[in-house]
A and B are shown apart, each in its own frame.
Chain A
Amino acid sequence: MELSTHKNDQPIIGTDEKVVSPWLEAWISFKKNKLAVIGAFIVIFFILVAIFAPLIAPYTFKEQMLSNRLLPPSSDHWFGTDDFGRDIFSRVVYGARISLWVGFLAVLGSIVVGCLLGILAGYYGKWVDTIISRTFDIMLAFPSILLAIAIVAVLGPSLRNALIAIAIINIPNFGRLIRSRVLTVKQEEYIMAAKAVGMKNSRILFHHVLPNSMAPIIVQGTLAIATAIIEAAALGFLGLGAEAPNPEWGKMLADARTFLIQAPWTMIFPGLAIMLTVLGFNLMGDGLRDALDPRMKN
C-alpha cells in the first residue's frame, strides 16, 4: 500500500479510506442514530416477547378465573385482570404474537404484490402502466382505514380478512415506489449493457432492478409495519378483526371500554403495548431511512 504513506492532513481521494460496502456504511450511520437504536431495541424486545410468550406469561391467554374478575394490578397479576378474570399481563404478552404476525405478514404480502405490479408498470410501460397506475391512484383516493373497513365489511369480520385488507390497502404505496425505481434504473447504462449482451428481461428485473430497489423497500416496509399494526388494532377495536378469545390488543381495548370507570387498567396496558410497538417501528424506520436513503429524508 504505497498510498498509505500520505499524511493525514493531506486529503487525497482514495487514500486511507477503506472501501466499505454500502450496507456496512448504512449500518455504521444507523448505529450512530440514538433514536433509531432505541427503536430497534423496542422492536427486538417485542419480537422476543412474542417468541417466548409461553415462557414469559404466568398464565395462558384464555385461562378464566371468575372469582378474580377485574382485580387491580398486584404482584400476582402485574397488569390486573379483566372481566373474565383473565390475567392481562399474559394476554398482552400473547397479543404481541398476533400484532407482529399481522404486521409482518400483511406488509410482506403488499410488498410482493406491490413489487410485481410496480415492475410490470415500470418496465413494460404503455397501457400496462396506465391501467396499474390508475388503479393505484383510485385506491389511494380512499382514506386507507376506510378502504380496509370496507374490504372487511365485504369479506366478513375475522383476523385473516383484516390481514388481507391491510395487505391490499398498502399495495399502491409499494407499487408506486418500485415503479419509480424501475423507471430510474431502466435509464442506467449497465441495464443497457445487460440488454446489449442479450440478457433476458426477467433476469434483468430480478438481478438488477430489484436488488437496486431493496433500500427504499426496507425503509418503507418498516414504516408500513407500524401503520399495519395500528390498522389491525383499529379493525380489532371496531370488532372487524380478531375474534374472542384471541388476545388481540385492539380487541382488548374494545372490551375494556365497558369497564373504564371500574377497571381502567384493562384499557391502559394493551394501548401502551400498541403505542410502544408502533413507536419502535417508526423510530427504526426513520433511522433506516436516514441511513439507507438520505435522499428520502424530508
Chain B
Amino acid sequence: MLTYTVKRLFSLIPVLLGLSLVVFFMIRAIPGDPAQLILGQLATKEAVESLTKQLGLDQPWFVQYFHYLGNLVTGDLGESIRTKAPISEEMVPYLMATIELSFCAMLVAVVIGVNAGIISAWFQNSWFDYVAMVLALIGVSMPIFWLGLMEQWVFAINLDWLPTSGREEVRNPVTAITNIYIIDTLIQGRTDQLVEVIKHLVLPSIALATIPMAIIARITRSTMLEVMRSDFIRTARAKGLKMFWVVYKHSLKNAIIPVLTIIGLQTGLLLGGAILTETIFSWPGIGRYIYEAIGYRDYPVVQSGVLVIAFIFVMINLVIDLLYAAIDPRIKYH
C-alpha cells in the first residue's frame, strides 16, 4: 500500500505543474494588453505600466512562470487588483463556505442516491424502480440553475418554509471561527443559529445534489443488479441469510467501487456547479468569488480561484484512488 501511495503521489507532479501552467497562461491569453484591459481605456500610462510590472508582464514568460511557481509553493497566490488584499487570506472564508455547501450536497446525493439505487435493484421492475429511474433520468438532464430558481419560487416564496438566499440570518449573524458555520455554531453552543444555518443550507444543497444524486442512483442500480446475479449472492441466499443483509452487506460491498469512482468524478462537477448554485442562492462561496472577480476583471483572483478548485478536484481523486486500492487489493498491482 505504501509503494502504491508513493507512486500515486509522484504521478500528481506533472498534473499539478500542468494545472499551474494553464492557469499561468490564462492571463497571457487575453487578447491585447491585459494591464490596459484590466484598468480600462481611461487609465493613465503610469498606472498601466505599474500594473504591468505588478503582474510581471514585462519579463520573459519562463522567468515569470518560475517566479509564479515559487510563490505558489510558499502558498502565495498574489494579491487582488480590486481589494489589494492577499488572495490566499481573502479566499479562506469563501472556500470554507463552498466546502460546507458541497459537503452537504454530496451527503444528500450519496445517502439518497445509493439507497435509491439499491432499492431499485432489489425490487427490480417494481413501481419504486420505475419512479426512481424516471426521476433519475430527469435529474441528469436538469439545468441546476433552473431547479434552484424553481425551489426558491416554490419553497421560499410561495410556501415560505425556507429562506430564499444567503448563509445565515442577517439579524443574527454567526461569529466565524472555522468559517464552516455548522461547526462554528456547534462550538459556540448556539442552537438557534444552528437551526438557521441548516435551514439556509437545504435549498442550495438539494439543487447542487440533484445531478450527482441521479447519476449515483443509476450507477448503483446497474452495478447492484450485476452483483446480485452472481453465485456468491445465490449462495448467501440459499443458506437462508436475510435479504436485507444480502443486499446491504454482501452486494453493496462488491458494488461499491464503480460507485466510489462516480462519487469522485461528481465531486469535481459539484465544485463547478457550485458557481451556478452560489449565484442563485447568493451563497458567499468561492464560485461567487470567482464570478464577481470576472465582472471586475480581477484576473489574479480568477486565476487563483480556478487553480484552487482544480487542485481540490485532483486531491479528491487522489483520495478516491487510494481509498479503493485499500478496499480492493487487486487494484494496486495494475
Q: A residues touching B (Cβ–Cβ < 8 Å)?
A: 35, 134-135, 137-139, 141-147, 149-150, 153-156, 226, 230, 233-234, 237-238, 240, 250, 253, 256-257, 260-261, 264, 267-268, 270-271, 274-275, 278-279, 282-283, 298
Which 10 pairs from chain A and chain B are nearest by CB?
Answer: A143-B272, A271-B146, A138-B18, A145-B272, A279-B141, A278-B141, A146-B272, A143-B268, A153-B294, A274-B143
A279-B137, A279-B141 known; A141 vs B19 contact (CB < 8 Å): yes
By the criterion CB–CB under 8 Å, are A143 and B309 in contact? yes
Closest to B297 in A: A153
Q: Which residues of B contact A279 (CB under 8 A)?
A: 137-138, 141
CA gap between A271 and B142 in the complex, in Å:
9
Kindly state whether residue B222 has any CB partner on chain A within 8 Å.
Answer: yes
By the criterion CB–CB under 8 Å, are B143 and A282 in contact? no
A137-B15, A154-B26 known; A145 vs B275 contact (CB < 8 Å): yes
Kindly state whether residue B68 has any CB partner on chain A within 8 Å.
Answer: no
Can you list 25 residue pairs at the A/B interface with Cβ under 8 Å?
Answer: A138-B18, A138-B21, A141-B18, A142-B22, A142-B313, A143-B268, A143-B272, A145-B272, A145-B273, A146-B272, A147-B306, A149-B290, A149-B291, A150-B302, A153-B302, A233-B145, A237-B145, A238-B279, A253-B145, A256-B149, A257-B149, A260-B149, A267-B146, A267-B150, A278-B143
Query: Shortest CB–CB separation between residue B102 and chain A, in angstroms?
Result: 11
CA gap between A219 and B54 in the complex, in Å:
48
Against A, the Cβ 8 Å flags (1 = close, 0 = not) of B129-146 are 000000001101111011
Interface size class of B (residues with CB under 8 A): 35 or more
CA gap between A155 and B27 in the complex, in Å:
10
Query: Shortest CB–CB separation between residue A130 and chain B, in angstroms?
Result: 10
Query: Shortest CB–CB separation between residue A216 and chain B, in angstroms?
Result: 19
Q: Which residues of A contact B27 (CB under 8 A)?
A: 154
Kindly state whether residue B31 has any CB partner on chain A within 8 Å.
Answer: yes
CA gap between A275 and B143 in the complex, in Å:
6
Query: Shortest CB–CB separation between residue B136 and chain A, in angstroms?
Result: 11
CA gap between A279 and B211 in the complex, in Å:
13
A141-B313, A146-B306, A237-B276 known; A264 vs B142 contact (CB < 8 Å): no
Q: Which residues of B contact A149 (CB under 8 A)?
A: 275, 290-291, 294
Kindly state whether residue B107 has any CB partner on chain A within 8 Å.
Answer: no
By the criterion CB–CB under 8 Å, are A267 and B15 in contact? no
Kindly state whether residue B327 has any CB partner on chain A within 8 Å.
Answer: no
By the criterion CB–CB under 8 Å, are B19 and A138 in contact? yes
Q: Which residues of B contact A150 (CB under 8 A)?
A: 26, 302, 306
Q: Which residues of B contact A250 (CB under 8 A)?
A: 143, 145
Among B196-241, those with CB < 8 Å from A are 218-219, 222-223
Q: Which residues of B contact A238 (CB under 8 A)?
A: 275-276, 279, 291
Closest to A223 in B: B140
Q: Which residues of B contact A230 (CB under 8 A)?
A: 141, 143
Q: Which residues of B contact A142 (CB under 8 A)?
A: 19, 22, 306, 309-310, 313
Choose one: B14, B26, B143; the contact of A134 (CB below 8 Å): B14
Closest to A267 in B: B149
CA gap between A233 and B22 in the complex, in Å:
25
CA gap between A78 and B191 in the complex, in Å:
48
Query: Shortest CB–CB separation between residue A271 and chain B, in angstroms?
Result: 3
CA gap between A253 and B149 in the complex, in Å:
9
CA gap between A109 and B179 in the complex, in Å:
43
CA gap between A32 and B29 in the complex, in Å:
50
CA gap between A153 and B279 in the complex, in Å:
16
CA gap between A135 and B140 in the complex, in Å:
28
A149-B275, A150-B306, A154-B30 known; A298 vs B219 contact (CB < 8 Å): yes
Q: Which residues of A contact B29 (CB under 8 A)?
A: 154-155
**Most chain B beta-carbon contacts within 10 A, residue among A240, A267, A270:** A267
CA gap between A154 and B272 in the complex, in Å:
17
Q: Which residues of B contact A226 (CB under 8 A)?
A: 141
**Most chain B beta-carbon contacts within 10 A, residue among A135, A142, A261:** A142
By the criterion CB–CB under 8 Å, are B143 and A267 in contact? no
Q: Which residues of B contact A134 (CB under 8 A)?
A: 14, 18
Closest to B11 in A: A137
List 10 additional contacts besides A143-B271, A156-B31, A238-B276; criterion CB under 8 Å.
A142-B309, A143-B313, A146-B275, A146-B290, A149-B275, A230-B141, A237-B279, A240-B294, A274-B146, A278-B141
Closest to A261 in B: B157
Against A, the Cβ 8 Å flags (1 = close, 0 = not) of B254-296 are 0000100000000011011101100110000000001100100
Q: Which residues of A contact B142 (CB under 8 A)?
A: 275
A237-B276, A275-B141, A275-B143 known; A267 vs B18 contact (CB < 8 Å): no
A143-B269, A261-B157, A271-B149 known; A234 vs B313 contact (CB < 8 Å): no
By the criterion CB–CB under 8 Å, are A146 and B271 in contact? yes
By the criterion CB–CB under 8 Å, are A253 and B146 in contact? yes
Q: Which residues of A contact B222 (CB under 8 A)?
A: 298
Closest to B23 in A: A150
Kindly state whether residue B153 has any CB partner on chain A within 8 Å.
Answer: yes
Closest to B287 in A: A146
Closest to B32 in A: A156
CA gap between A153 and B37 in the complex, in Å:
12
CA gap between A278 and B210 in the complex, in Å:
15
Query: Shortest CB–CB separation between residue A233 and chain B, in angstroms?
Result: 6
Q: Which residues of A contact B280 (CB under 8 A)?
A: 257
Q: Which residues of A contact B48 (CB under 8 A)?
A: none
Q: Which residues of A contact B30 (CB under 8 A)?
A: 154
Query: Shortest CB–CB separation between residue B12 and chain A, in angstroms?
Result: 10
Q: Which residues of A contact B15 (CB under 8 A)?
A: 137-138, 141
Closest to B21 in A: A138
Q: Which residues of B contact A141 (CB under 8 A)?
A: 15, 18-19, 310, 313-314
